[in-house]
Structure 1
Amino acid sequence: MKHDQLQNKRVLILFPHLVIPGGALIYTLRLAEQLQQRGAEVAILTLRHEPRQIQISAAIEVIAHPHGPLTSSLSFWLSWPVWQHWIVRKIRNWNPDLLISQVFPSNWWGWLAKRVLPQIPLLWVCHEPSAFIHSEIWIRVLQPVWKSRLALSLRPFLAHADRRLSKYGDAVVANSRFTAEQVKRVYDLKVAAIANPGVILDDFPGRRAARSNLLLTVAHLSGFKRIDFLLQVFAGILERQPHLRLAIVGDGEKMTALKQFATTLQIAGQVDFHGRLHHSEIVRLYTGAALYMHGGVEEAFGMALIEALAGGCPVLAHASGGPLEIVTPDTGRLMPNLDPMAWSKAAIALLEQDDAQTALLCRKRAADFSWKQTGDRIASVCHQLITLFNSKTNP
């Protein structure tokens, strides 16, 4: 699309909080940059922003409450009407030409705002259907346990409300074909476009560091990510290649339990829990690792997978969800089961491949996913929505 089609258009992005790094937040920040490069004036409306943790370009305005809660907190949900009123007031004050909502509950913010501000077009960038409503897997890994039980008890009501509210949106963009299928199944909505996350290849060295004895996984340490399963896989790998190490990057509520499990498996001495690292440090691990392992099942996409490929690192993942759209036979292995020994054997086979050739093929595959392509696809939908609504108000 022409890079001036959003010239002087005001685009307001809704996002829960800018506090914890993650795939959806990275996507949102990259999207804001892409829309700005296409001439739009972009702001992000959020309940809370920690500038020391999440740094944002000065060209992108952040509208945050000085004392806003995390949306995972009980205080947020008990005060929902107050925060929804604040959000609608901020939308009115900023007066956007277009609203873009992101992950739950910001999609609800947008849909409820549309009830009182129908003149503003609303695009939902769906990373997955509201996971803590529709996915029992996600609900059962919620911590503490009372949150999981409460979410399960409220699930029928919330699922009904979620489907009803979705009708207030004007268009949906999905981050993968898998997510598009979920949007159709859950909401009976057809997406306007599929805009995969991207990767900046220039952030990764053209040549990989010399192959190390390192295996890698990067994830929030929740039950949904199945890091415990990957520890079992690694234990099986060590039986054949005892010199290897596993680096686990990320933190979360399962950290202590996972360390204990590694001790139970008698592999704790060869597992490094790095916690949260700066992106440059993660890039160093991607470019030096011999294999990336991804334990999630039916994940919407998997941004870490394309970052691993950009680092020239092959991927071992489950044959479901986003990885089916990322990993090819030349760049890794997709497993049809959750058999730890089968995964261990597949990992060993990947480790025995030609390292230099595999690295080239991985980087070539990663090049298929660019933020420019993401921006082009979403900007095109934005332009269409703004044009449509302008034609209605100025026939």
Structure 2
Amino acid sequence: EKNVFRYRSVNLTSKVKYPLPIPLSFKVKKVITEFNPDIVHIHHPFLLSSVAIMYGKKLGIPKILTLHTQYEQYAHYVSPIPERITHEAIKMIISNLAYKTDCITTPSASMKKNIENYGIKNRIEVIPNAIHLISFKEEDELKRAEIKKKYNLKEDDKIILFVGRIASEKSIDKIIKALAILKKRSIGKEKLLIVGNGPAMDELKQLARTLKVEEDVIFTGTVSYEEIQHYYKMAYVFTIASTTETFGIVTIEALASGVPVLAIRAAGAVDILTD
């Protein structure tokens, strides 16, 4: 790819496919020098951040750090290290990096507050994430009918939609448990459509079976970005139970599609939704 240089990488854990770069390369100096950047923009506080800071200093250009993940909420992936130790290590690494940068950007006011709670005094600017609004406003009845047929959904089914990575930190289990309660209280036509893939898929399918709602929970797997708009348009309501978001692009995608959103009162959601 043009203007892309890739470091070699390794997977940190088999729990999740998340390759970590090896910050060693004899080619990168030549690549960066020839490219001659105006700023260095760091999107990850670990490993490659030290390389970015080094070249930012050498070239005498501004160093911008964007923090768009609550990294301490993902500490459980770094087993067998105790989470408390991992939390403190993450805070220390981010704080030390922050003081070497000229400005920090983050997508929400909630995340800005979290960063300030680390004791970081740098300039912090909130720059919300964005989507291509027009694509989520387009109507395609034929495509929606095709998708409903694929998953055996009826016209009068009330589709509760979740879109995202299928992982424990997304708290999808709470949505499935809520559906089970709903089914016990009524004979409604609610169907839960879970769009995405991830390490918690088997666990959540077993939960649906245990709660006897497996016929009402549909796991679609990965759906392309070009098709996802049609899934939102089918929904009666979009729901997100995660407390680990920093913004929640899926929330604004749902709103752009004209779908009501039901969310946990947590970072990300409170920056977008009002009661």
1:131-160 per-position Cα deviation (integer Å, ceiling 9, x unaligned): 0xxx2x4212x2xxxx32237455544543
Alignment of 1:176-325 (within 5 A): 176-205=108-137, 212-239=157-184, 240-325=186-271
2:229 maps to amino acid: V
1:80-125 per-position Cα deviation (integer Å, ceiling 9, x unaligned): 4525x76555433422111111134377246542575261211112
2:80 maps to amino acid: R
1:37-80 per-position Cα deviation (integer Å, ceiling 9, x unaligned): xxxxxxxxxxxxxxxxxxxxx8x632224xx2256469976x84
Distance 1:190 1:294 in 2: 32
What residue in structure 2 maps to residue 376 of structure 1? none
Check whether the contact 1:126–1:174 (CA below 8 A) recurs between aligned residues: yes
1:199 maps to amino acid: I
**2:121 aligned counterpart, secondary structure:** coil
Go from structure 1 to structure 2 and tell me whether the alpha carbon gap of 1:87 and 1:295 turns closer, same or farther (over 3 Å shift). farther
What residue in structure 1 maps to residue 148 of structure 2? none
Task: Using the TM superposition, give the Cα deviation of residue 228 of structure 1 relative to its aligned residue in structure 2, in angstroms.
Answer: 0.8
Distance 1:307 1:106 in 2: 32
Query: What TM-score, normalized by structure 1, do the two folds share?
Result: 0.58
Distance 1:223 1:259 in 2: 13
2:107 maps to amino acid: N
Does 1:98 pair with 2:39? yes
1:188 maps to amino acid: I
Distance 1:316 1:258 in 2: 20
Query: What TM-score, normalized by structure 2, do the two folds share?
Result: 0.81
Go from structure 1 to structure 2 and tell me whether the alpha carbon gap of 1:293 and 1:87 turns closer, same or farther (over 3 Å shift). farther
Distance 2:238 2:22 in 1: 40
Check whether the contact 2:237–2:260 (CA below 8 A) recurs between aligned residues: yes
Percent identity at matched positions?
22
Distance 2:247 2:100 in 1: 26
Stretch moving more, 149-158 or 185-194: 149-158
Alignment of 1:23-102 (within 5 A): 61-65=3-7, 68-70=8-10, 72=12, 80-82=22-24, 87=28, 90-102=31-43
Does 1:169 pair with 2:115? no
**1:100 aligned counterpart, secondary structure:** strand
Go from structure 1 to structure 2 and tell me whether the alpha carbon gap of 1:73 and 1:273 turns closer, same or farther (over 3 Å shift). same
Go from structure 1 to structure 2 and tell me whether the alpha carbon gap of 1:155 and 1:297 turns closer, same or farther (over 3 Å shift). closer
How many residue pairs get aligned? The number is 257
1:160 maps to amino acid: M
Structure 2 runs not aligned, ≥5 long:
142-154
Distance 1:111 1:173 in 2: 16
1:178-220 per-position Cα deviation (integer Å, ceiling 9, x unaligned): 1111121114134442111112221023569688521100111
2:260 maps to amino acid: P
Check whether the contact 1:100–1:123 (CA below 8 A) recurs between aligned residues: yes
Distance 2:37 2:156 in 1: 50
Distance 1:156 1:179 in 2: 17
Go from structure 1 to structure 2 and tell me whether the alpha carbon gap of 1:222 and 1:96 turns closer, same or farther (over 3 Å shift). same
Check whether the contact 1:246–1:271 (CA below 8 A) recurs between aligned residues: yes
